[in-house]
Chain A
Amino acid sequence: MHKIWTLFKREYRAAVRTKSFIISLLLVPIMMGGGFVAMVIMDKNKDTDDKKFVVIDHSGLMIDPMKKALEKRNNEEIFNSKTGEKIDAPYVVEFMDPDIQDPETQRLALSNRVESQELYAFIEIGPDILHPAGENKQAYLKYYSQHSFNDQARYWFQNVVNNSVQKIRAAELNLDETQAKDLLWYINVEGMGLVTVDKKTGEQVDAEKTNELQTFLVPYALLIMMFMLVMMSAIPQLSSVMEEKNEKIAEVLLGTITPFQFMMGKVMGGIGVSLTIAAIYIGAGVFTLNYIGMNSLIPVDVLPWFFIYTILFVLMVGSGMAALGATCNDNKDAQSLTFPAMLPTIIPMFLIAPVIADPTGPMATTLALIPPFTPTIMVMRMASTVTIPMWQPFAGLLGVIIFTLFSVWIGARIFRTAILIQGQKPNLATLYKYAFKG
């Protein structure tokens, strides 16, 4: 055991002392959370210059309400209520009469003005927006711009037009403001957890409102973290072992340690690295969530499972990678083997949405009990707001332990045979031969 420990220490130090480890430790979360950070930064640094629009109102009903809404927005809403600082762009709207004879030419001319950045966008309001029901009604609201897909201005005009027509419709029906509100009131469904009984006190605990953020963010974060840990600690075993084989270090060490000890020392080093990274990230995550008052997002019950499953996952993938590394002669061999070997790690990434949408559904449950996918899928399900049957994490764990032992056994056999063989191309036939015939 002490030989595995000695090798573990070397592997661990060799991995964590490198500059690339420190850089990836910092870079990976930056890359993963980069989009979010960029959005926040962009949101805080909005363009506050005037945005010019042209509105062609075929209905003739929207000019006054829109002018009022614009006045309110440009005088009040775009300023920080506390500091008075301008935080958003004023909208400047030019109302244009529709060209009935040649609407296409009018649209082209306006489009050219948008393209030359004289205008930000132009809006066309259909003639029948007040009473859209019925045949051949033209109740459209069209927003023409270079980036109409995700544009805040588009939603502002949509809200103004809809609110205005609703008010006009209520007035036509002689409804007062309260009646109009009642008529248009839309009730959202509220997501709730389940009512439970506190095991210690025996008291009933009310159901908690489902946190939309928790529903998605926590399982997603844990999955990404497990993926990162495997990528940073288990996957590099392939190239590391290949290098030791090609540099003839393996033969030197195999005079002192058995192939199994060699492989286990390396894989344990990988586990050490992954636990270090996990401790740093989770520590930082817990600290941050506490700091911003969102500690309810910390999945305290799931974290022990996360660590257990991560250790087994790194052991499972790491031993496979070490074995494959022993069969490789050069980088070309390594490249051809890396992708298929990474599939158990990659596939769950494509299953985030369906698993989170229905964590207790047949697909999520079945996948969670297939060992190569168990660590990621099971942890994702456990971190969701849904309670999964308690036997499932244990059954999954048993499956993963058995599969990991099998993986280590097969890996060690392949490793033992292949580590000193030069020039043999790794393929399924040679892997089978190494694993079962020696």
Chain B
Amino acid sequence: MNIIELSGITKTFGSVKAVNNLSLEVPSGSIYGFIGPNGSGKTTTIRMIMKIMYPDSGKLLVNGRETNLERLNDVGYLPEDRGLYKKMKIGELLQFHGELNDGTDLPNRINYWLERLELKAYKEKKVETLSKGMRQKLQFIATILHQPKLIILDEPFTGLDPVNADMMKDIILELQQQGATIIFSTHDMAMAERMCDYIFMIYKGKKVLDGTLENIQDQYGNDTLRIQSDLGAEALKDLKGIENVNNFGKLQEIRLEEGVDPQKILVELLKKTRISKFELTKPSLNDIFIRIAAPERKEVTHA
């Protein structure tokens, strides 16, 4: 069963089509990753799902309902731009958000989540005393406090250190196991690859990818080589049949031109240097993203 169904959704701002004839189905209980370059229409799509904005045309069902005049209490939303009342105390703020969403057992749940996200000591402090990362965690608690069935997170990991990002990732996975559907937008392709059951990419308002990671990678075939050699990126210079090189320093990921035999590349490389790794693989999500969002560039990216 789908918790969200978008059918032919279009949203225009002036002369710009922010979202163009978008159709999408989000199955219940899944983690759906929204990816796309800045300004591609991710946030607009999320805002329409949240009914903060209304589409110009198309049909949008959340939990099977279309009405624009009400808000569903079993949805939790973490917007891209964090906004909290700075003068409120943390405990009061969470109580306010919990009440606004018809949450139950709020005092215990507030204590639980503050403890879990290491904010318990700040419960009686004002929001303005918190660091940016702490505020992000606080807003995350406000999003999930009322145990929503659908959780929409717009770039939830931005601004978090690796420890906190990992902590949030674990919680998101835990919430999924408890039955929640998670939608999150991100620029962190590795995180999307690891966490998402489905990935949707929007580019210039149009859907360009939608499916499981395997399905998406299958569309691009085995055209990627991961190579480790003594010469590193130098070994790849003047090599024919290479469309793009992604240099990670100790490892180079290359995209082959269509119809090029990887064995020929291996032979050419062995003439130049000693090879310690040569792997033919599917393109990473990051590579697919770059292929779509910057197709004209033949860049060498230093990760």
- Give the interface of A toward B (CB within 8 A): 2-3, 6-7, 10, 14, 244, 247-258, 420
Contact = CB atoms under 8 A, between A and B. Distances in A.
A244 B100 CA distance: 17
A251 B81 contact: yes
B70 interface: yes
A413 to B, nearest CB: 13
7 contacts: A248-B79, A251-B52, A252-B79, A252-B83, A255-B79, A256-B71, A258-B71
B86 interface: yes
B147 interface: no
B77 A255 contact: yes
A6 B94 CA distance: 12
Contact of A249 (B53, B83, B100, B101): B83
Nearest to A18: B87
Contacts of A253: 100
B16 interface: no
Interface string B78-109: 01011111111000000011011110000000
A2 B102 CA distance: 9
A425 to B, nearest CB: 15
A250 B83 contact: yes
Contacts of B53: 420
A254 B53 CA distance: 10
Contact of B139 (A6, A7, A252, A420): A252
Contacts of B96: 6, 10
B83 A14 contact: no
A249 B84 contact: yes
Interface in B112-144: 139, 142
Contact of A257 (B71, B79, B83, B84): B71
A420 B81 CA distance: 11
A76 B86 CA distance: 67
B75 A251 contact: no
A247 B71 contact: no
Nearest to A3: B100
B77 to A, nearest CB: 3
Contacts of A255: 50, 52, 71, 75, 77, 79, 152
A258 B100 contact: no
A247 B83 contact: yes
- Which of A244, A253, A254, A256 has its CB near the most chain B CB atoms (within 10 A)? A256
Interface in B5-60: 47, 50, 52-53
Nearest to B53: A420
B73 to A, nearest CB: 8
Interface in B233-247: none
Given A251-B79, A258-B69, A258-B70, A7 B100 contact: yes
List the 9 shortest-distance A-B pairs measured between CB atoms, nearest first. A248-B83, A255-B77, A248-B81, A249-B83, A6-B99, A252-B83, A251-B79, A254-B52, A255-B50
Given A14-B88, A251-B52, A420-B52, A256 B100 contact: yes
Contacts of A247: 83-84, 86
Contacts, number: 62
Contacts of B82: 248, 252
A289 B84 CA distance: 46
A253 B52 CA distance: 10
The B contact surface, by secondary structure, is loop
B88 A244 contact: no
Given A247-B84, A251-B81, 15 more contacts: A3-B100, A6-B96, A10-B88, A244-B83, A248-B79, A251-B47, A251-B79, A252-B77, A252-B82, A253-B100, A255-B75, A256-B73, A256-B97, A258-B71, A420-B52
A14 B75 CA distance: 26
Contacts of A250: 83
Contacts of A252: 77, 79, 82-84, 139, 142
Nearest to A245: B83
Nearest to A255: B77
Contacts of B100: 3, 6-7, 253, 256-257
A330 B41 CA distance: 26
A248 B135 CA distance: 13
A91 B102 CA distance: 78
Contacts of B75: 255
A251 B139 CA distance: 12
- Which of A10, A249, A255 has its CB near the most chain B CB atoms (within 10 A)? A255
Contacts of A254: 50, 52
Nearest to B70: A258
Contacts of B139: 252
B83 A251 contact: yes
A409 to B, nearest CB: 14
Contacts of B152: 255
B98 to A, nearest CB: 9
A250 B81 CA distance: 10
B85 A14 contact: yes
A252 B77 CA distance: 7
B66 to A, nearest CB: 15
Contacts of A420: 47, 52-53
A7 B71 CA distance: 15
A210 B279 CA distance: 104
A77 B260 CA distance: 120
A77 B84 CA distance: 69
Contacts of A249: 83-85
A256 B81 contact: no
A249 B97 CA distance: 12
Contacts of B73: 256
A266 to B, nearest CB: 12
A86 B96 CA distance: 64
Contacts of B101: 256
A356 to B, nearest CB: 42
A14 B84 CA distance: 13
B257 to A, nearest CB: 44
Interface string B217-255: 000000000000000000000000000000000000000
A248 B139 CA distance: 12
A252 B78 CA distance: 7
A254 B101 CA distance: 12
